[in-house]
Chains A and B, each alone.
Chain A
């Protein structure tokens, strides 16, 4: 849950009141930001409030765009826009502008820019040091700590450290409600989801007139598999703010998970209408198209995804372009044409120029997906072909996304070679990915570890989210468990490889 609290209100008010063109603002509570324009300062503060505190995501990005428009030399605003946007071309451009204008920034702003850029580039050691320096220097900058806590939990999986940062923040100011939101997600993502609803209760009571607490509560309940409660909370969020798009797509995805695809599609269309971000529109369109797969209308789904491919290509949205091909591949029952689909995804991704770190992460995802599809069909050579470029990437990439994709693809390769124990070790490294979990269960079964395989299936079956991987792997896991409930000694094998 994200909401503006009283401390931030006063900080922002002070910041705006104290704005002086052309100077580094002397604030002892928060990291300063340097701009020659009062207007840019206003937009920056508004953007941070919208994006970080209230989670009006699109509005926040728009406001940050206004900030850099008002002062094109505003380095921190460029860096923040690069950090927040989900448009890879905008990210690359804004990051370059942040670097170009770095001389205009104060030393502490430069530290924040180092963190923002470093977390994206995988240059994490200086990024972490920079953030910790800033937190030590500005212990009252709650937004800063919240940003860090969220990154640690949601991006790095550093749950202990993230929990510690967020708990300290709440200890210092129990009314800093955005931290409740991030702490709840931290628990949910780290497998302690049962701890999240109590925080959500606190959050919705604290901020009864804000939509995000109800929205987050909805997502947490959906993650826990309580779809009815999820819908109730999403709808409460929409009663508070009918334009809160996150809840619109939340309702849609909940219906999709409930198997009510007609309703899901109708709601996705509402959500698509509700955003003007090109990448987000396409993301939602892909989810909309996936509903046809969910109800076994594969040809219709492919038709719709092909349309998205054309539009994404036209608009230069390489990630969405590649993702549409990848979805087609994962749902394609014919392995040979599925491999062609996934190779189209790779070509689409490499055809566009954007931040290398982002591209590597997406490419690694595509290559592991390729390995999975090949393993599912028992195509040993094709698994190897997918693994080779990933091995090259993994030798130099610090990205944990690349590393996990590599280990999973290696696990798929070892599974093909019937080296089950080694495969299990590799696949364990990417145990958050439904496709890896499916391969892991298969390897465990073949290694004679029926009880472990059953546990893996149970973990897999408990995943409730809108990812394509979940849509592919979870129904099979649930069917397998239904056929062979956990109380029985023998796990039901997947049909991954003959």
Chain B
């Protein structure tokens, strides 16, 4: 049995065959003073146009491999083009020094890298966050807020 007889339809919302989308969280080191940014700001970081935090430290971007589940949505949403165009931007040779992009194989690794690097900025499935990272609001909203822009499908 499940723990409760759920009679209300929406309380039993998972009875059919469709998986839900997830919200992606933009995460920074817990000590990073940044609390919020716009999607456009995030796009500039992804493009390497904004390279430093306000304190002058160089930003490192930490992402899952572009072909991993969900990353297509994130890259297309943040950069506004196709996945292939996004990959090209993130893999440009100049990125080694200008907002270097670290690709890792799991959300847990993204969180781990961001927890250990005070200048890092990562994107993860929100269900993988810990208190070792700070969730940065995007366009004044955080994951699960109505209208949150990084809500995947």
Contacts and interface: CB of A to CB of B under 8 A. Distances in A.
A153 B3 contact: no
Nearest to B20: A157
A461 to B, nearest CB: 11
B9 A160 contact: no
Contacts of A158: 20, 22, 127
A398 B147 CA distance: 10
Contacts of A362: 8
Given A361-B11, A465-B15, A280 B5 contact: yes
Contact of B14 (A51, A126, A190): A190
Contact of B1 (A219, A223, A323, A433): A219
A498 interface: no
B61 to A, nearest CB: 21
**Interface SS majority for chain B:** loop
Nearest to A397: B146
Interface string B119-146: 0000001111111110100000011111
B116 to A, nearest CB: 14
Nearest to A147: B3
A159 interface: yes
Contacts of B1: 2, 55, 57, 212, 215-216, 219, 246-247, 250
Contacts of B130: 129, 132-133, 136
B12 A465 contact: yes
Nearest to A182: B2
A41 B16 CA distance: 40
Interface residues of B, number: 38
B13 interface: yes
Contacts of B9: 365, 433-435, 467-469
**Interface SS majority for chain A:** helix
Contacts of B8: 319, 323, 361-362, 365, 467
Nearest to A434: B9
A125 B126 contact: yes
A128 B7 contact: no
A178 B108 CA distance: 25
Contact of A124 (B2, B128, B132, B144): B144
B14 A189 contact: yes
Nearest to B18: A431
A185 B2 contact: yes
A82 B127 CA distance: 23
Interface string A71-83: 0000000000000
Contacts of B135: 125, 129
A191 B146 contact: no
A432 B14 CA distance: 6
Contact of A153 (B4, B11, B14, B128): B14
Contact of B131 (A2, A133, A219, A468): A133
A286 B7 contact: yes
Contacts of B13: 157, 400-401, 404, 430, 432-433
Contacts of B88: none
Interface string A437-464: 1000000000000000000000100010
Given A125-B135, A396-B146, A433-B10, A283 B5 contact: yes
A405 B129 CA distance: 27
Interface string B1-38: 11111111111111111111010010000000000000
B109 to A, nearest CB: 14
Contacts of B143: 124-125
A125 B144 CA distance: 8
A160 B19 contact: yes
Given A157-B13, A404-B13, A463-B15, A468 B7 contact: yes
A332 interface: no
A44 B30 CA distance: 34
A468 B133 CA distance: 43
Interface string A39-80: 000000000000100010100000000000000000000000
A400 B19 CA distance: 14
Contacts of B126: 124-125, 128
Nearest to B144: A398
A221 interface: no
A398 B3 contact: no
Contacts of B12: 432, 465, 467
Contacts of A133: 130-132
Given A362-B8, A401-B10, A191 B18 contact: yes
A212 B3 CA distance: 11
Interface string B50-89: 0000000000000000000100000000000000000000
A177 to B, nearest CB: 14
A408 B107 CA distance: 32
A125 B20 contact: no
A154 interface: yes
Nearest to A362: B8
A161 B125 contact: yes
Given A125-B142, A401-B13, 4 more contacts: A132-B129, A400-B13, A432-B16, A468-B7
User: Considering the complex of A and B, which 3 residue pairs feature the smallest CB-CB distances, nearest first?
Assistant: A191-B17, A189-B14, A157-B20
Interface of A: 2, 51, 55, 57, 84, 86, 122, 124-126, 128-130, 132-133, 136, 150, 152-154, 156-161, 185, 189-191, 212, 215-216, 219, 223, 246-247, 249-250, 280, 283-284, 286-287, 319, 323, 361-362, 364-365, 368, 394-398, 400-401, 403-405, 430-435, 437, 459, 463, 465-469
8 contacts: A55-B1, A157-B13, A190-B14, A286-B7, A398-B145, A401-B10, A463-B16, A467-B6
